[in-house]
Structure 1
Amino acid sequence: MNVKPWFSYSAMLQTFAAVCALAAAGAAQAAEVGVTDTEVRIGQFAAQTGPAAELGKRMQMGILAHFNAVNAAGGVNGRTLKLVSRDDGYEPEKAAAAVKALIEEDKVFALIGSVGTPTTLAAVPAINAAGIPLVGPFTGAQALREPFNRNLFHVRASYFDETERIVQHLSTVGITKIAVFYQNDSYGKAGLEGVTRALAKRNLKPAASVTVERNSVDVTAPLAEILKAAPEAVIQISAYKSCAALIKQARAKAYGGQFFNVSFVGSKALAEELGDTGAGVTISQVVPFPYTPSSAIVREYQQRMTEAGHKDFDFSSMEGFMAAKVFTEGLRRAGKTLTREGLVTGLESMREVNLGGFIVSYGPKNHEGSRYTDLTIIGRGGRFVR
């Protein structure tokens, strides 16, 4: 008696292939690092301890102020945002270890708000190896912009933009004898190059170029060189502790020239370190003035910070807030099926996006974000004026 098999070999192969395809699709969906149906894990490596700790803490504060508001409203495409932070002490070796741990141990989907040039540079090899996006690094160094790196998305202007703005201002008011005090690492050298380039455009050279070691406040030798050169102004490219030490000691020796800083110094932290000595110190900025609700993004920042229990506004937390705002917009554009490639594509689709008075623009070969700069002055009582 011949009985036909109830299931043909051909049909069995087709069914097996279909099951494998479904399993592979499910595995691919589940395999995206740091993403579940309800949550996205985002990593930050930044100083939480040491002489630059306030920069990392304030950056984190701004990021969380935005993330908390987004989560309270239901998240992005149904997923809440969880920030995982690791302390790098503003040291390159610790930063490299921190970003490796975020990627391999914490299994984060993407990175946001790193703080510092040497630390971010030290993390780049691990970032590139993992193909993980980093949004809004708190650095304006050209070495992180050239050559183009598809994994890095800048929100702030570069140090070249900031130092050009400072030198332009000084030359406009007739000040041409300018010294540079810079941190002896990739950050300080990036700023020095920016100042030198800006001066060269005006057929000028630094009156003196002096250095300080990272995380050090030993400024005795560099101050002696500055006083010997007697410049009309000093442009500082360092962190707030060393910059404050130099200004205080210079004032104590009756130096009457002007002091200028780039935004990375940490404006609020510098003003607090200086106290009454800070009046008249100028700082270039790369985000809107956070103290006056004159634009939609500043009003939103102030509201979110207040909701998070913070009423002490400042530039660093404003930058963290803006980095988080750009990040979440990229997530939204990436869609429900979230991948790292989708986040990159989503961010690159942001062309001339107005975030409420601050324009951010990216493209497949342009991750610069913004070239916005401003100048602020520390006034009496540590208050900032434009």
Structure 2
Amino acid sequence: MTLRSPSVAPNSITRRRFGALVAGAAVLGAPALRAQGNRLVLGQSAAFTGPAAQLGIQFHAGAKLCFDALNAQGGVAGQRIEIRQLDDGYEPERCVENTRKLLADDAFALFGYIGTPTSLAALPLATRDGAPFIAPFTGAMGLRQPFNKLAFHLRASYNDETALIVRQLTNLGLNKIAVFYQNDSYGKAGLDGVTLALAARNLKPVATATVERNSVDVAQAVANINAARPDAVVQISAYKSCAAYIRAARAAGYGGTFYNVSFVGTQALADELGKEGAGVVVSQVVPTPYSAARPIAREFLDAIAKGGNQVQPNFSSMEGYLAARLFAEGLRRAGGRATREALIAGLEAIGDHSIGGFAVSLGANDHVASSFVELSMLTGDGRVRT
């Protein structure tokens, strides 16, 4: 860690000045001073390989697109923002190892972690280090309750998503609802959301079945759920396993509908399924990037064009872009003080705010920026309609 004063050359620092700096650091706490010159390094552990790789790749691409554009304009409050990315393959143990490395290397904050099991494993380490944990790509309530002063969420919760899905299905008279879910904290968070929404209507899942994380072994799950003859199957997993389930269920004679929460990776699911994706529904927690109706979508598409069209516009990259915009707004409101405490205060000072027409709200006692949820549908030609 380097303590620098712009008015005193490093070689001419006095003993009194050195003592004052050390005392100041003690008051602030060592984790507070993480800015490296005029550069802030954010640490991101995410899946960049394996069956969930597109989630990490696309989120990172969208966030980097935003930060690169801001850096080209001189940064935010004089600070250039960089992301140091480490691959965890969507496995908690690897995420823990990565997080320890990032914190040991003085990451200013942790940003854009992908997934519930990985984020749940990392958050205690961030808390112990005093590192802000910003915009994890998960809607699990376990990361939101109890309230953590260091955790800030961009997206709506899985409870919000599953409530909309269940409302849509029951409004259509489809009450026999099954749940196919990943056998970990992510899948169970989604199952809890569906169960809660059904219970409000005096209903229960007609069947449930699981798949292991990073697996596409779905045969038993298909057999168990198909036997219950559900009207619809709500899927709480990543795109590879959800695509495998849809194919296998249809091959076994299932003719009902499939609903997914946003974490599935919408474009990745569409790419996996191709024509077989027609009619599959996915809930979304950020605005569509495929239409220029909202200012944020126009801004995003314009940034992609100016960046040489190297980023694919999809919901995952849009979420990364919005997460970067939220971070930058918090840093701007920190008033040029590049400390963790100032960033937290800056994020909490955002209050009710619009990011290109996307409403966010943060405060001292509310670190969930958005409850936006809408439904989209795959069209079968690789596109997504909202």
Match of 2:385 in 1: 385
Show CA shifts across 1:355-385 (max 9, x none).
1111111111110111000000000312111
Are the aligned partners of 1:293 and 1:299 in contact in 2 as well (CA < 8 Å)? yes
Show CA shifts across 1:87-106 (max 9, x none).
111001011111111000x3
Show CA shifts across 1:296-351 (max 9, x none).
11111111122233353100000000000000111111122211010000000111
Change (3 A) 1:221 1:31: closer
SS at match of 2:227: helix
Are the aligned partners of 1:34 and 1:42 in contact in 2 as well (CA < 8 Å)? no
Match of 2:354 in 1: 354
1:129 offset after TM fit, Å? 0.6
1:166 offset after TM fit, Å? 0.2
Match of 1:9 in 2: none
Q: Does 1:46 align with 2:37?
A: no
Match of 1:139 in 2: 138
Are the aligned partners of 2:43 and 2:111 in contact in 1 as well (CA < 8 Å)? yes
Match of 1:251 in 2: 250
Show CA shifts across 1:169-209 (max 9, x none).
00111100000000000000000000000000011110101
Question: What is the alpha-carbon distance in structure 2 between the residues aligned to residue 43 and residue 135 of structure 1?
Answer: 10
Are the aligned partners of 1:159 and 1:262 in contact in 2 as well (CA < 8 Å)? yes
For 1:179, give the aligned amino acid. A
Q: What's the TM-score once normalised by structure 2's chain length?
A: 0.93
Question: What is the alpha-carbon distance in structure 2 between the residues aligned to residue 23 and residue 184 of structure 1?
Answer: 49
SS at match of 2:350: coil
For 1:160, give the aligned amino acid. N
Q: How much is the aligned-residue C-alpha RMSD, in angstroms?
A: 1.8
Question: 1:1-386 residue pairs with structure 2 within 5 A?
Answer: 20-21=19-20, 24-25=23-24, 32-104=32-104, 106-308=105-307, 309-310=309-310, 312-386=312-386
Q: Which runs of 5+ in 1 are unaligned?
A: 1-14
Change (3 A) 1:108 1:208: same
Are the aligned partners of 2:360 and 2:369 in contact in 1 as well (CA < 8 Å)? yes
Change (3 A) 1:306 1:30: farther
Question: What is the alpha-carbon distance in structure 1 between the residues aligned to residue 25 and residue 171 of structure 2?
Answer: 63
Show CA shifts across 1:2-26 (max 9, x none).
xxxxxxxxxxxxx975663256558
Question: What is the alpha-carbon distance in structure 2 between the residues aligned to residue 135 and residue 20 of structure 1?
Answer: 34
Question: What is the alpha-carbon distance in structure 2 between the residues aligned to residue 313 and residue 271 of structure 1?
Answer: 14
Match of 2:4 in 1: none
Question: What is the alpha-carbon distance in structure 1 between the residues aligned to residue 356 and residue 251 of structure 2?
Answer: 43
Change (3 A) 1:31 1:152: closer
Are the aligned partners of 2:33 and 2:338 in contact in 1 as well (CA < 8 Å)? no
Between structure 1 and structure 2, the one with the greater Rg is 1
Are the aligned partners of 1:330 and 1:347 in contact in 2 as well (CA < 8 Å)? yes
Are the aligned partners of 2:152 and 2:367 in contact in 1 as well (CA < 8 Å)? yes
1:249 offset after TM fit, Å? 0.9
Show CA shifts across 1:22-46 (max 9, x none).
5655897998544133211111110
For 1:101, give the aligned amino acid. K
Change (3 A) 1:16 1:290: closer
Question: What is the alpha-carbon distance in structure 1 between the residues aligned to residue 94 and residue 228 of structure 2?
Answer: 37
| Identity fraction in percent | 52
Question: What is the alpha-carbon distance in structure 1 between the residues aligned to residue 380 and residue 227 of structure 2?
Answer: 29
Question: What is the alpha-carbon distance in structure 2 between the residues aligned to residue 22 and residue 228 of structure 1?
Answer: 69
Q: What's the TM-score once normalised by structure 1's chain length?
A: 0.93
Are the aligned partners of 1:30 and 1:36 in contact in 2 as well (CA < 8 Å)? no
Question: What is the alpha-carbon distance in structure 2 between the residues aligned to residue 29 and residue 179 of structure 1?
Answer: 50
Question: What is the alpha-carbon distance in structure 2 between the residues aligned to residue 159 and residue 25 of structure 1?
Answer: 42
Worse overlay, 306-315 or 238-247: 306-315
For 1:66, give the aligned amino acid. C
1:125 offset after TM fit, Å? 1.6
Are the aligned partners of 2:156 and 2:372 in contact in 1 as well (CA < 8 Å)? yes
Question: What is the alpha-carbon distance in structure 2 between the residues aligned to residue 26 and residue 312 of structure 1?
Answer: 43
Task: Please list every run of at least 4 consecutive aligned residues from structure 1 whose deviation after the TM superposition is greater than 4 angstroms.
Answer: 15-19, 22-33
Question: What is the alpha-carbon distance in structure 1 between the residues aligned to residue 22 and residue 234 of structure 2?
Answer: 60
For 1:135, give the aligned amino acid. I
SS at match of 2:81: strand
Aligned residue pair count: 371
Change (3 A) 1:121 1:30: closer
Change (3 A) 1:288 1:219: same
Question: What is the alpha-carbon distance in structure 2 between the residues aligned to residue 129 and residue 98 of structure 1?
Answer: 15
Question: What is the alpha-carbon distance in structure 1 between the residues aligned to residue 206 and residue 220 of structure 2?
Answer: 16
Q: Which runs of 5+ in 2 are unaligned?
A: 1-13
SS at match of 1:354: strand
Are the aligned partners of 1:33 and 1:108 in contact in 2 as well (CA < 8 Å)? no
Question: What is the alpha-carbon distance in structure 2 between the residues aligned to residue 155 and residue 196 of structure 1?
Answer: 24
Worse overlay, 207-216 or 303-312: 303-312
Are the aligned partners of 1:60 and 1:113 in contact in 2 as well (CA < 8 Å)? yes
Change (3 A) 1:17 1:279: same
1:254 offset after TM fit, Å? 2.5
Question: What is the alpha-carbon distance in structure 2 between the residues aligned to residue 364 and residue 165 of structure 1?
Answer: 28
SS at match of 2:288: coil
